[in-house]
Amino acid sequence: MPGALKRTGRYRGSDGSFWRKTAPPESDRTRQHAKNFYFHTVDEDISERAVKLDSLIKSIDKNIRIFANPCSERQLDLQKITPYIDIWAPHLYNVCRTKNTGAMNIMKAKGEFFWNYANPVGVGGPKNCSPYKWYRLIPWLTWKNGMKGTGFWVYLRYPNIAWQENNIENIPYFIKNGKPYRRGDKYCWDVVYLSKYAPSDVCKKELIIPSKRWEAWREGMEDYIYLDILSKTIKEAEKKKVHSDTLNEAKRILDKWPDKVIGDLSINWADAAKEETLRTIAKLREDIKNIKAN
């Protein structure tokens, strides 16, 4: 991620006071720094009140940059808020998988970055869902949609209760003003665990203990990186005027595997895709090397 992302709280500063204080002073150095800083003004919302807040912010300082993660694919709402958004990160399942090309095109046309985010829940909560289907395939869906970034809810939020069962509605999250304080979340979404809160029979040599979901996510990110390397290697080979069976095979692989991996969830195709992609990258690099040598 190229900059810091600050979440401001729901509709904070709707009167403009917070944003007038936030707007950086007029100096080239501060302005340059502000380009790498983004505000997440309203979570999962592109309604009329979100439009009013974001338009107010831009009227105070057009250089304040805004991040939006809509759950709605309503094109009218997207069109209204589009002039004020610098980074789009639509919900992966509610928006990106609906095949609403109109909504996707509106976001692609405006914004410096086109990302997505997910909050995998599966059936029975995030801890019971398939790590492969709900975490490893997030980067594959990201690639398929032509997006350059992705994320999910959440890495680690409530370390003291992450070891509990899925349903945490009656578990206090923390102490606030001397009393147990609980939000309305039904599930604990954390994908890593702190060893200090682990049961007595769990080894505590490592500070952080990853879940299978976190490991699947990391594998998916590796998959995305290899697809990106293959894509760039193909372009380099074409530029160097490489003519080989390997180049043709590389194009076929880049076209075939994303559809196959995402389209058939009954089998873990991602492992086979990764192996073939890596072999093809190595072969194509060798072809490029031979062209240079000649």
Q: Which of 68, 100, 118 is the last residue of a domain?
A: 118
Radius of gyration, CA atoms only, the chain: 22
- CB-based contact 112:87 (threshold 8 Å): yes
Tens digit of each residue's pLDDT, the chain (294 residues):
344 444 544 445 556 666 666 665 554 555 555 667 788 888 999 999 899 999 999 998 888 889 999 988 888 899 999 999 999 999 988 887 766 788 888 998 887 788 999 988 766 678 888 999 999 999 999 999 899 999 998 898 877 777 775 545 544 455 455 554 455 556 778 899 999 888 888 888 889 999 999 999 999 999 999 999 999 999 999 999 998 899 999 999 999 999 999 998 889 999 999 999 999 999 999 999 988 666
Structure-token pair, residue 102 = 């109109």
For residue 157, being part of any structural domain is answered with no
For residue 260, being part of any structural domain is answered with yes
For residue 125, being part of any structural domain is answered with no
pTM of the model: 0.83
For residue 168, being part of any structural domain is answered with no
What is the Cα 274 distance to its own chain's centre? 20
For residue 153, being part of any structural domain is answered with no
For residue 15, being part of any structural domain is answered with yes
For residue 163, being part of any structural domain is answered with no
Q: Which of 70, 94, 118 is the last residue of a domain?
A: 118
In Å, what is the CA distance from 114 to each residue of 121, 167, 241, 261? 23, 33, 31, 22
Q: Is 250 helix (H, G, I), strand (E, B) or coil?
A: helix
For residue 182, being part of any structural domain is answered with no
Task: Note down the domain range covering 30.
Answer: 4-118
Structure-token pair, residue 201 = 């029979």
Q: Which of 66, 98, 118 is the last residue of a domain?
A: 118
What is the Cα 225 distance to its own chain's centre? 14
The total domain count for the chain is 2
- CB-based contact 277:227 (threshold 8 Å): yes
